[in-house]
Amino acid sequence: MKKVFAIIYILFLTLNSRSQSLLTPFEVFQGKRTSTYSDCIKFYELIDKKYSSILIKQFNTTDAGYPLHLVLFSADNHFNIDVWHKNKVVILINNGIHPGEPDGIDASMMLVRDLATGKIDAPKNVVLGFIAVYNIGGTLNRNNYSRVNQQGPESYGFRGNAQNLDLNRDFTKNDSRNARTFATIFHYLKPHIFIDNHVSDGADFQHTMTLLSSQHNKLGEVGGSFLHNTFEPGL
Ligand SMILES: [Zn+2]
């Protein structure tokens, strides 16, 4: 079985480099595999080369020593952030903070490709930024058995980053270079909406998507009532 996968994978790499077809490992292996770090970056670089609606920017650095890749999508091919803020909604999407929950990495690759190729039309007033892989050190540290409660993928990254820090606990204390570079990206883009893609550690929910909010009655008068009466019903 492993041999068959190896052959399919070599075929996938060959196809991707020769005909520059833009399939993700997730699609090629029918949802059983998630992209490696290097495949993910190569995929985005290929799209960046082919489509002028895509621009990749690199921000140094992370604890693994690699920069963060920010993949920008703008349907009108303009990438001036100050102009965006006059008439666009800027959405920032983060992926792979916990690399064992890699769905967002793969989903973003497919979404960026489908936006670039025109398969999906984004609303005219929306621009998007994707952090391709946030926890690079953890993503490089792949294994098969640290999440036995999850239904796949076959292999995936480890939760801790290159310093073994949980990046989902580091946005305030900023012990990691990842978090400090994230802050640079956040202040560069000043997004109106920020989405951090996680999945649910194998818990067997009935629904496809779960919405968890902070307790509104602990957020104070203004924030709490906005969350409870406006934001949540709107979502
Ligand atoms: Zn998580």
Name the pTM for this structure: 0.85
pLDDT, residue 12, reads: 55
What's the 66 CA to ligand 1 centre distance in angstroms?
21
What's the 69 CA to ligand 1 centre distance in angstroms?
20
What's the 101 CA to ligand 1 centre distance in angstroms?
6
Q: Measured between alpha carbons, how far is 184 from 174 in angstroms, rounded to an integer?
A: 12
Tens digit of pLDDT at every position of the chain (235 positions) = 455 555 555 555 555 544 457 999 999 999 999 999 999 999 999 999 999 999 999 999 999 999 999 999 999 999 999 999 999 999 999 999 999 999 999 999 999 999 999 999 999 999 999 999 999 999 999 999 988 888 889 999 999 999 999 999 999 999 999 999 999 999 999 999 999 999 877 677 788 777 888 899 999 999 999 999 999 999 8
User: What residues flank ion ligand 1 with Cβ within 5 A?
Assistant: 98, 101, 198
Which residue shows structure tokens 């009108």? 76
What's the 97 CA to ligand 1 centre distance in angstroms?
7
What's the 7 CA to ligand 1 centre distance in angstroms?
32
Kind plus residue range of the DSSP H or E element containing 73:
strand 68-73
Q: Measured between alpha carbons, how far is 112 from 130 in angstroms, rounded to an integer?
A: 9
From residue 91, alpha-carbon distances to 2, 69, 82, 167 in Å are: 40, 16, 14, 20
What's the 199 CA to ligand 1 centre distance in angstroms?
6
Q: Measured between alpha carbons, how far is 56 from 129 in angstroms, rounded to an integer?
A: 9
What's the 82 CA to ligand 1 centre distance in angstroms?
32
The torsion angle over the Cα atoms of residues 25, 30, 31 and 36, rounded to 10 degrees, is: -20
CA proximity to 153, closest of 4, 36, 34 = 34
